[in-house]
Amino acid sequence: MATEDVPLPPWRKSRKPAQLRRQLSQDLIVEAGLRIVDAEGFDALSMRRVAQEFDTGPASLYAHVANKDELLELIYNRVLGEIRLPERDPGRWKEQLREYMLEVHRVLAKHSDLARVALANIPTGENSIRMGEFVFGLLIEAGMSPRDASLSMDRISLYIVGDAYEGSVHFARMRAAGMTDPQEYFESFIGQIAGYYRALPAARFPHMTKFVDDLVADDGEQRFRYGLELLLDGIEARMPRTP
């Protein structure tokens, strides 16, 4: 079978002349995916786009990742890993809970588009559990009943993620509008909303039209903090024997 001397027919060309079998691992794929989400947005993240980062086709990824959903979960869990948790101090539970919420909010806002993953998946990653233990433990140690602590933790998580999701929607709109400066987008958006409210029939919507300025006064950060304090006060009211 000495066919080696015969040049290979063109349809049997060797796939990659040099450096076949490059390195490709789950970590590299997750890292590339996160890079794409941060730089180009959630909608730009496709299996093809990730594969392109390694100069290959989408099929190559499926050896390391079950499917796109799993990839998203891995990326999300990777981001949650950036969250720093302090030592628990039950005496300062309210301050610590506030700082915790702001910290999670900060990390999710940094990778803004990823909140779209958070709300769509049930949190079962390592880091989700770590965060759950922190909040749940803090409330328990502060004297709350396990049942109330469970419910409070659940609502706190929902609130943070829901707010981040809303923020990511605006981020996507900004990108779609071709803008890059959040401040610029915010002002143009506020202007549109205010104009829309002002054009409403005052007879049917007296309050909305009268207080337009108040309706558009606060930005996302202030809104988040307001809801945060609403929740904290509600939780405090359910704490046993607080002065």
Residues that bind a second copy (CB under 8 A): 119-122, 124, 129-130, 132-133, 136-137, 140, 146-147, 149-152, 154-155, 158-159, 161-163, 165-166, 169-170, 173, 193, 196, 200, 204-208, 211, 214-215, 217-218, 222-223, 226-227, 229-235, 237-238
Q: Is 15 in the site for DNA (CB under 7 A)?
A: yes
Task: In angstroms, give the least distance from the CB of 41 to DNA.
Answer: 12
Q: Is 35 in the site for DNA (CB under 7 A)?
A: no
Chosen residue from 69, 187, 229, 236 binding DNA by CB under 7 A? 69
Chosen residue from 2, 12, 124, 147 binding DNA by CB under 7 A? 12
- In single-letter form, the type of residue at position 218 comes to D
- Between CA 124 and CA 146 the distance in angstroms is 20
Q: Is 39 in the site for DNA (CB under 7 A)?
A: no
Q: Which tokens in the block code for residue 150? A: 């469970």
Give the binding site for DNA (CB under 7 A). 12, 14-16, 20-24, 45-49, 54-60, 62-64, 67-69
